[in-house]
Amino acid sequence: MTLDDVAHAAGVSPITVSRALRGERAVAPELVERVRAAALKLGYVPDPAARALASRRSTHVAVLIPMLSNALFVDMVEAIQRRLRPAGYQTLIGITHYDANEEEQLLREHLLHRPAGLLVTGLERTPATRALIANSGVPCVHLMETSTDPGVHSVGFGQADAAAAMTRHLLERGRRRIAFAAAQLDARTLQRLSGWRAALTQAGLYDPVLEWRNPAPSSLALGALLFEQIAAHRPAVDAVFFCNDDLAQGALLAAMRLRIAVPRKVAIAGFNDLTGNDQMLPPLTSVRTPRAEIGSAGADMLLTLMQGGRPPSHTVDLGFELVVRAST
């Protein structure tokens, strides 16, 4: 079942079938109709390999994310697939493990397959990776952060702004010694840290000892550990803002074990508003981040670029939302 069969059935040349099916204009509407009908009747489906070889472009979209074990990226990936699949694109997921060199290696591998598009996480990468993307000529959209560079397409939200907003919320609640606990220490975590720092500085309450960093991956256990350390070393701290919800949830459990009253003695806030926050004791205050929307809008922008179009804007800021629960 090939183009020729459809051409035969429709009484046109194969190339006309090719054009009609791809929706190229410059084909008479009635011919398009005839071809479509024939293709449908024969159950014809174009061969992706032949198409890729001839056009030097596949229908694959490579999606590079740091981790799948962070629910954040799962939500984003699912939203991406929901958009890309109906449009006829296959998603290839590459996991970088927050490692710029692994990302570079992954990208090299994926580029060999001539992907139709690229979806990458964040803006920070090795110069070589940046060059690979630029030289490949493959459309690329950056997710999770917003770029000011008009040559870079991005969909995200202001990580620092979101963290600053949460910090101000804690200040409004009367907290004065607000610690920030960070894990992983990837670019976005550090942006959140800077947002927190800016808000505290503005309030005249910034103190470097309030900054707790740990490069290990975010987890309940690490959140518990960080909370225990903060409670032991800085008893005056009256709020802890964690860069991710799993840390905050772990802290809530640790507080219970240590019999430290939340939020009476210390307020606890998280980030991302992952599932389960409403089940915590007390329910966890967090920042809802629009990861699914980022996936959808990022895929839409990429779709536009892959079709040769130009998106209305090179960057889209999808914002965030404070979700205040009983923990603060």
Q: Which residues bind a second copy (CB under 8 A)?
A: 45, 47-50, 52-53, 58, 68-69, 71, 74-75, 77-78, 81, 85, 90-93, 95, 109, 112-114, 219-221, 224, 246, 250, 253-254, 256-257, 275-276, 278-281
Q: How far is the CB of 51 from a second copy (least distance, A)?
A: 8
Q: Which is nearer to DNA, 46 or 94 (CB)?
A: 46
- Least separation, in Å, of the C-beta of 148 and DNA? 34
Q: At which residue do the structure tokens 């903060």 appear?
A: 230
Q: For binding to DNA (CB under 7 A), which residues are involved?
A: 1-4, 12-16, 18-19, 21-22, 25-28, 31, 44, 46-47, 50-51, 53-57
Neighbours of 294 (CB within 10 A): 26
Residue 206 CB partners (closer than 8 Å, separation 6+)? 197, 200
- Exposure string of 7-18, with b = 16+ CB inside 10 Å and e = fewer, is bebbebeeebbb
How distant is the alpha carbon of residue 96 from its chain centre? 13
The residue (of 33 and 99) whose beta carbon lies closer to DNA is 33
Contact 289, 157 (CB under 8 A): yes
Choose from DNA, a second copy, none: what does 220 bind? Cβ within 5-8 Å by kind. Answer: a second copy
Question: Residue 321 binds which one of a second copy, DNA, none, with CB within 5 to 8 A depending on kind?
Answer: none
In angstroms, what is the minimal distance from the CB of 86 to a second copy?
Answer: 11
Shortest Å distance, C-beta 28 to DNA: 3
Listed in sequence order, the residues at least 6 apart from 186 whose beta carbon sits closer than 8 Å to its beta carbon are 66, 98, 122
The Cα angle at residue 83 between residues 313 and 110, in degrees rounded to 5: 85
